[in-house]
């Protein structure tokens, strides 16, 4: 398989949030998922389960020769290795990694949905995504990322760009 473009979204709201994301990025890199572009980090309010700390979210564009299902398994292993807590669905977590797009692949199985099933409803994904690729038209869409952001129903997460620690 040739190198494919992949968009991953990251979130963390436990521990050293920025460091958690940076650690996940290193694990991906050492496992054949090469970072090409990373958005700014955004502080966001939790959505769905709101009784938890704010998140830091970002989005990255990567290239990899790993298939979507192997990539999903790798991501789950990274989350587990980093000690992700899954006791509360959509609850606090030190790391969350979602596959948003994988080239122009469209798939829906029990474990994996590409494009991600909720990306268009999540301001905390669309905001950093629009920073990287505002004019991109996702598979099965008629609107650009920038247009999807304007129509996004999420009024709760309120992404605010944060200054990165050196």
User: Active-site residues: which are they?
Assistant: 84, 93, 96, 98
Q: Contacts for 18-24 with beta carbons within 8 Å, 24 or more apart?
A: 18/56, 18/164, 18/165, 20/82, 20/94, 20/95, 21/56, 21/58, 21/95, 23/82, 23/95, 24/78, 24/79, 24/82, 24/95, 24/97
Report the DSSP beta bridge partners of residue 55: 44
Record the tokens describing residue 52, joined without a space.
């938890």
57 and 9 Cβ atoms separated by less than 8 Å: yes
d(CA 166, CA 18): 11
């Amino acid at each position: 398989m040739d190198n494919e473009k992949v968009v991953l979204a990251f979130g963390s709201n436990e521990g050293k949030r920025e460091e958690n994301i940076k650690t996940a990025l290193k694990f991906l890199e050492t496992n054949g998922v090469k970072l090409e572009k990373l958005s700014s980090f955004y502080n966001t309010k939790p959505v769905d389960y709101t009784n938890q700390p704010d998140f830091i979210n970002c989005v990255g564009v990567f290239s990899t020769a790993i298939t979507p299902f192997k990539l999903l398994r790798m991501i789950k292993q990274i989350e587990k290795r980093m000690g992700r807590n899954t006791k509360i669905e959509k609850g606090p977590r030190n790391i969350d990694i979602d596959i948003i797009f994988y080239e122009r692949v469209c798939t829906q199985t029990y474990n994996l949905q590409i494009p991600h099933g909720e990306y268009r409803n999540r301001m905390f994904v669309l905001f950093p995504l629009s920073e990287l690729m505002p004019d991109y038209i996702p598979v099965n869409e008629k609107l650009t990322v920038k247009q999807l952001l304007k129509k996004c129903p999420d009024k709760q997460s309120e992404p605010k760009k944060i200054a990165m620690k050196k």
